[in-house]
Homo-oligomer: A and B are copies of this chain.
Amino acid sequence: MRGGQGILFQQILVEDRPGSSIRAVVVNRLLPGCTVGLHTHHGEEDFYYCLSGEGVVVDNGTEHPFTPGTLQITRDGESQAVRNTGAQDLVLLAALVTVQKCA
């Protein structure tokens, strides 16, 4: 995903609909060794909430441990990536939200 490597399973919980700012809410399951490649968000924000497993998240250039209970949010114009550094699956909830389009 996003130019990363390895295997990821995605469960889609919420999809886009007109008028909503919520573009998607998914649960991503990264198998051991899997990464979500570095990517930048434009006109939207994205947060990852760790449900289980152990990884590292890159938040606009800075690495942080990513373990259950951690939330990482990427703001408009910022970049993110995540990798599973453990022996188990890394499972996270991700929510993609459009910024307010008018002033």
* A→B interface (CB under 8 Å): 13-14, 19-22, 25, 27, 45, 47, 49, 51, 69, 71, 73, 75-76, 93, 95, 97-102
Contact = CB atoms under 8 A, between A and B. Distances in A.
Oligomer copy total: 2
Chain A interface mostly: strand
A97 B47 CA distance: 13
A40 B101 CA distance: 24
Contacts of A14: 47, 71, 73
B71 A25 contact: yes
Given A71-B14, A95-B95, A47 B25 contact: yes
B25 A75 contact: no
